[in-house]
Amino acid sequence: ELNCIAGVDRVCNFVKGDFMKMPFVDNSFDAVYAIEATCHAPDPVGCYKEIYRVLKPGQYFAAYEWCLTDSYDPSNQTHQKIKVEIEVGSGLTDIRLRTECLEAVKEAGFEVVWEKDLAKESPVPWYQPLDSHRLSFSNFRTTHIGRFFTRTLLIALERVGLAPKGSQRVQAFLEQAADGLVEGGR
């Protein structure tokens, strides 16, 4: 409906599907992009192969992906704890290493022409909006006080039936993910 209002209904549409089995013929698209999505794929190589299949030959696939940077040390218990917090709170079965993501893309048939850890040179830390220790008007909801108000409100809304049961539990694991993301970003 919004496409019609905007006048782009002939050039833009939406398809709900499984990115492991896309409902498109081979060589359908001039470009493909994925933003924080393919990290949820059960088989990254299979997912990237499916993207490669629907992309016209010689065209580009761009991705902005969640991955563990080269700073991650799998033998470090603190790093392991942070990784689990992020995975649980973000619905990820496994956050892959940056190198694993790149290898999966290559194994699917792509040539990597450019890749970069965007967190390294960001003038504002990417995790700043999630930092519960940083008080500002824009991130009040993520502060300890803001989280307290949110939890209290969710409990009340659950009790009167205006929020589904379990909403406060979801809030708790989202907070856990935020804490893990901030700690991992630092």
Q: What is the pLDDT of residues 21-48, one digit of tens each?
A: 999 999 999 999 999 999 999 999 999 9
User: What is residue 38's predicted lDDT score, i.e. its pLDDT?
Assistant: 92
Look up the domain containing 26 and give its range: 1-121
Residue 134 or residue 34, greater confidence: 34
Q: Are residues 93 and 145 in the same domain?
A: no
**Is the same domain home to 83 and 106?**
yes
The one-letter amino acid code at 179 reads D
Q: Which residues contact 71 (CB under 8 A, 6 or more apart)?
A: none
Query: Using an 8 Å Cβ cutoff, are 105 and 50 in contact?
Result: no
Domain C-terminal end among 121, 146, 166: 121
Residues 96 and 14 in one domain: yes
Rounded alpha-carbon distances, angstroms, from residue 83 to 34, 38, 69, 88, 169 = 22, 17, 11, 9, 20
Residue 171 sits in the same domain as residue 155: yes
> Where do runs of H (alpha helix) occur along the chain?
2-6, 44-54, 77-90, 98-107, 144-159, 167-185
Number of residues that this document lists for the chain: 186
Please tell me the total count of domains within the chain.
2
Nearest to 127 by CA among 71, 180, 73: 180
